[in-house]
Amino acid sequence: MSLRVLIVDDSSAMRAFVRAALEVDGAVDVVESVSGFEALRILPRESFDVVIVDVNMPDINGLELVAFLRKTPQHRTTPVIIISTEASSRDQERGIALGANAFLSKPFEPEELRALVARTREARGDGRT
Amino acid sequence: MTTEGDKRDALRDEFLAEAQEIVESLSRDLLVLDQSQKESSIDPDLVNEVFRAVHTLKGVAGMFGYAELGRIAHQLEDLLDALRLGRVELTQEVLDVLFEGVEDFQRLLSEERTDGGKDERVSRSSRPQTSAGKSVAPSIAPPPAYLPPKPASAKPQEVDPLSQLDLDANVLAVLTEYEEHRLRTNVQQGVGLYRLRVRFSLASIDASLEELKARAKPVGEIITYLPSMEGGDGDHIDLDVLLASRANAGDLRDLLVAGGDAILSEITIRRDLKTPVPAPMPGGGTAEVQFPRPSAVPSETDAGVPRAPAELRDLSADQLSLRSVASTVRVDIRKLDHLMNIVGELAIVRSAVGRVTERIRGRPELRQLAIDLHRVNRGFERHLAELQDGILDVRMVPLGHVFDKLARVVRQVAREHGKEVRLSVTGAETEVDKLIVEELSDPLMHIIRNAIDHGIETPEVRTDAGKRRTGTLALNAYQKGNHVVIEVEDDGRGMDEKRLRETAIQRGIATSESAREMSRDEAYNLIFLPGFSTSASVTDISGRGVGMDVVKTNIARLGGVIDVQTEVGVGTKFTITLPVTLAIINALLVRVHDRQFAIPIAAVQEAIVLEKRHLRTVEGREVLSLRGSTLPLCRLTELFQLQRPIDDTVRQFVVVSSLGSRRLGFVVDSLEGQQDIVIKSLGRSLSQVRGLSGATDLGDQRVCLVLDAPGLLEEVLSATTDLGIGLGGYAS
């Protein structure tokens, strides 16, 4: 079964980076969302193995999205990775407090993302590939 | 099949495209900030937008290993963060630093685009801590005065106003640092806080959101939107909008709850100070977050909650779930060039079919077949024209892209020279071929630098002359038929015709006699000649080795012309006329001796029969009297040294070419109709030949040379020497 990932980021270059990093491993289905609002539309109807969220987005920020995910029945346990810049440890702490499983600081290498995605899936206990 | 290298290139292109977009919008926003700073009405949303743009740029630059770009973005980000958090005041000096940053971004990005590989990218692991090589740091590092040390936090003895809010801790937990700051600032300033619960249809959420923003903007500031699961069903979502406003609840309700279905409640500010500042919840990845339920919300039911129009609600789940908000794609211009070439080839095929049809028509027994074929070909032609228009339309970009860049130049040059200049722009939405826009920015920049440096006077001089202190530079663009006209007009000192003539004599460009005989227009056009400069002293901005002659050449290369009008003491206006696209042109085919030439129809005013009795010779140049005016002639046989016995009994034609205010007649043997042609560049041997801009394939194995009408017009009208251009052994 292939890995299904949602990346929510208003930067198209960042989405392309995440897609390129994850698609190296073969059977990965990366769904892109350009905003928190678009993610709201996608999330209640879809399931994902991992959701990757940028914290600093206009309108609905990444933290609000994490809180929303944890309120959505089918996403109560979906692994969530938040992405922020190195300086915003405050936002990282808050994201974890709201229920994100892990955070990544920009800049990061593709390998770091792949390893983190693998770890968060294992932690959830369904590390099938 | 795509290789790893292709993927890397695709990623790099993605980065460059986004970075360019960010820098362009950054530049636009800074210009608005510049204006609003002068008017002391700074919009915090805009400052935040600028911060966010730089923040995103820093993030992606880091991700893609662009250390230098990332470093500059980081410095600007610190400054902007201090600005948006109110620690630094927005002054002209701060704006200077920001504008310089934009220039640095532009430079780094264009370097990256041109040299591709040998850039400043370094892998993060080997990235030096100190900046290596070409550092722009000194120009960009904000003076320490702008950046007071960040306070560790709110002073302990002060009560955090957020703790006084009757707001659920879970709301505060999801605010980013900036949102928290805006909330705090509003509370401190005594602005009222409201919670607006709205229900949006998931299918139309973007439109509803924009509408809400538009209505809320004039009366307050939206701090954030909190999505809630409560009360939402599969098709809708409830949002708690946190709004700061000085308006009273009643007015806000009238404005935002128009139909009576959204719910507005006021968030009270408690005066007891017991509630602590909400801290992030400790550890653990499973915190349950309760979203606030305003007490006014009656129940889980839909009652009293706005509904989307029925047609939008009825969309099935699959239809709406994965649809992207972004409905645009970025396309490499080369792909469009390729498509355009194919259209060109198709146009050639179409002409060939047309000729075959003509041949068939000549055979009585195939007449019906010829008629059918003709009809089919007409359909083909129509659709081909639509296809061509469609592709051309995709290539078009608004001139605003280059105008934004110029606005920065105006600001910078004016400041450097102590001039006060107001820029007025009209027609920024006028669209031109992407390639033309790219090539326009240098010539326009030069004209603008000249206008500010030499044209617009200092405020003191202006005041003494009874003019307004602030000079005006107008950039106007509009479409005129198949052309786009761009005017650059200043209200400065203008150019003195007499001085132009004197300078021309001094520089050996004209004799005192020819200078005296020159018409006014000819005198003004002297500035476009190589080696001509009117400024008494060469300042740093005009002494860059690029003169107006280069501007003129660059514009002529785009198939355009430049004219100047000026009046002493009143100002100068440059008018640039350009074709809308370069990709495909409609041309008049002419024959001279045994060769065919194509003359761009844009450069053709009319074609007439050459009446020998109207021929005269003026100053050794052949001219034609045409309806009372004199038209200089250029015989293509002579120009290209085509050997041909002179036979005065054969009827000849004159193609009158006009660009701007000047005209020239090309003498040809016959006119052979109009055709759309795709210009291909000339091979090596012919690329140096003056008077030709390219070649085209007419579809029957005939190669046809395309006449560089603007270039010839220029050359013939200014030349006194022999213009013979040998085509050598070129075979048609």
Query: Residue A66: its pLDDT value, please?
Result: 93
Unique residue bearing structure tokens 């007891």: B272
Residues of A in contact with B317 (CB under 8 A): 45
CB < 8 Å from A in window 35-54 of B: 49, 52
Q: How many domains does chain A have?
A: 1
**Of A20, A56, A101, Cβ closest to residue B285:** A101
Please tell me whether residue A83 adopts helix, strand or coil conformation: strand
Tens digits of residue pLDDT in B117-150: 444 444 443 333 333 333 333 344 444 444 544 4
**Mean of the per-residue pLDDT values of chain B:** 76
CB B624 within 8 A of CB B675: no
**Of A45, A88, A108, Cβ closest to residue B317:** A45
The share of chain A scoring above pLDDT 70, in percent, equals 92
Confidence of residue B648 (pLDDT cuts 50, 70, 90): low
CA distance B459 to B468: 8
ipTM attached to this prediction: 0.85
CA distance B95 to B673: 57
Query: Residue B44: its pLDDT value, please?
Result: 81
CB contact under 8 A, A61 and B224: yes
Query: Residue B647: its pLDDT value, please?
Result: 66
CB contact under 8 A, B324 and A13: no
Question: By CA distance, what is B20's nearest residue in A?
Answer: A13
Tens digits of residue pLDDT in B521-571: 888 888 887 777 644 434 433 433 347 887 887 887 787 888 899 999 999
Instruction: Tell me the average pLDDT across B347-356.
Output: 81
pLDDT at residue A126 tops 90: no
Rounded (10°) angle between helices B44-63 and A12-23: 30
Query: Residue B277: its pLDDT value, please?
Result: 41
Confidence of residue B163 (pLDDT cuts 50, 70, 90): confident
pLDDT at residue B104 tops 80: yes
Please tell me whether residue B508 adopts helix, strand or coil conformation: coil
CB contact under 8 A, B325 and A35: yes
> CATH topology for B585-718?
OB fold (Dihydrolipoamide Acetyltransferase, E2P) (2.40.50)
Among B631, B635, B612, residue whose Cα is nearest residue B623:
B631
Highest mean pLDDT among B498-507, B691-700, B702-711: B498-507
Domain B399-495+534-579: CATH superfamily, name plus number: Histidine kinase-like ATPase, C-terminal domain (3.30.565.10)
Checking B297-304 for CB contacts under 8 A at 24+ apart, the result is B297/B197, B297/B231, B297/B263, B300/B230, B300/B231, B301/B231, B302/B199, B302/B231, B302/B233, B304/B260, B304/B261, B304/B263
Instruction: Tell me the average pLDDT across B595-616.
Output: 86
Q: Count of CB atoms within 10 A of residue A122's CB?
A: 11
pLDDT at residue B221 tops 60: yes
CB < 8 Å from A in window 63-82 of B: 63-65, 70
Higher pLDDT: B294 or B454? It is B454
pLDDT at residue B272 tops 60: no
Helix/strand/coil percentages in chain A, nearest 5: 45, 20, 30
Contacts of B551 (CB under 8 A, 6+ apart): B443, B446, B447, B528, B562
Question: By CA distance, what is B210's nearest residue in A?
Answer: A59
CB contact under 8 A, A67 and B205: no
**Of B60, B291, B321, Cβ closest to residue A42:** B321
Q: Is residue A116 part of a domain?
A: yes
Confidence of residue A87 (pLDDT cuts 50, 70, 90): low
Contacts of B560 (CB under 8 A, 6+ apart): B576, B577, B578, B579, B710
Confidence of residue B258 (pLDDT cuts 50, 70, 90): low
DSSP conformational letter for B562: E
Confidence of residue A3 (pLDDT cuts 50, 70, 90): confident
Question: By CA distance, what is A123's nearest residue in B?
Answer: B285
Tens digits of residue pLDDT in B456-503: 999 999 999 999 999 999 999 998 877 889 999 999 999 888 888 888
CB < 8 Å from A in window 250-309 of B: 280-289, 291
CB contact under 8 A, A20 and B229: no
The share of chain B scoring above pLDDT 90, in percent, equals 13
Lowest mean pLDDT among B32-41, B254-263, B494-503, B670-679: B254-263
Lowest mean pLDDT among B407-416, B504-513, B710-719: B710-719
Instruction: Tell me the average pLDDT across B338-363.
Output: 82
Residues of B in contact with A108 (CB under 8 A): 63
Among B722, B573, B547, B553, residue whose Cα is nearest residue B635:
B722
Q: How far is CA A57 from CA A42, A62, A63, B45, B298, in A?
A: 17, 7, 10, 14, 31
Confidence of residue B327 (pLDDT cuts 50, 70, 90): low
pLDDT at residue B721 tops 60: no
Instruction: Tell me the average pLDDT across B674-684.
Output: 68
Q: Is residue A129 part of a domain?
A: no
Helix H or strand E encompassing B574: strand B571-579
Q: Is residue A30 part of a domain?
A: yes
Residues of A in contact with B177 (CB under 8 A): 88, 90-91
Residues of A in contact with B179 (CB under 8 A): 61
Q: Where are the domains of chain B?
A: 4-146, 161-277, 334-396, 399-495+534-579, 585-718
The share of chain B scoring above pLDDT 70, in percent, equals 76
Lowest mean pLDDT among A79-88, B308-317, B387-396, B556-565: B308-317
Q: What is the pTM of this model?
A: 0.56
Query: Residue B486: its pLDDT value, please?
Result: 95
pLDDT at residue B590 tops 60: yes
**Of A32, A37, A55, Cβ closest to residue B205:** A37
Query: Residue B500: its pLDDT value, please?
Result: 85
> CATH topology for B4-146?
Four Helix Bundle (Hemerythrin (Met), subunit A) (1.20.120)
CATH tag, B161-277:
3.30.70.1150
Lowest mean pLDDT among B190-194, B327-331, B551-555: B327-331
Instruction: Tell me the average pLDDT across B296-302.
Output: 38
Lowest mean pLDDT among B61-75, B305-319, B390-404: B305-319
Query: Residue B473: its pLDDT value, please?
Result: 94
Indicate which CATH number applies to the domain containing A7.
Answer: 3.40.50.2300
pLDDT at residue A50 tops 90: yes
Tens digits of residue pLDDT in A7-31: 999 998 999 999 999 988 777 889 9
Lowest mean pLDDT among A46-55, B107-116, B280-289, B396-405: B280-289
Query: Residue A1: its pLDDT value, please?
Result: 56
Residues of A in contact with B55 (CB under 8 A): 56, 85
Starting at the edge strand found earlier in the chain, the sheet holding B585-592 runs B670-677, B585-592, B595-600, B703-707, B692-697
Query: Residue B338: its pLDDT value, please?
Result: 82
Range of the domain at A113: 3-124
- Pairing assessment for the beta strands B585-592 and B670-677 based on DSSP bridges: antiparallel
CB B256 within 8 A of CB B245: no
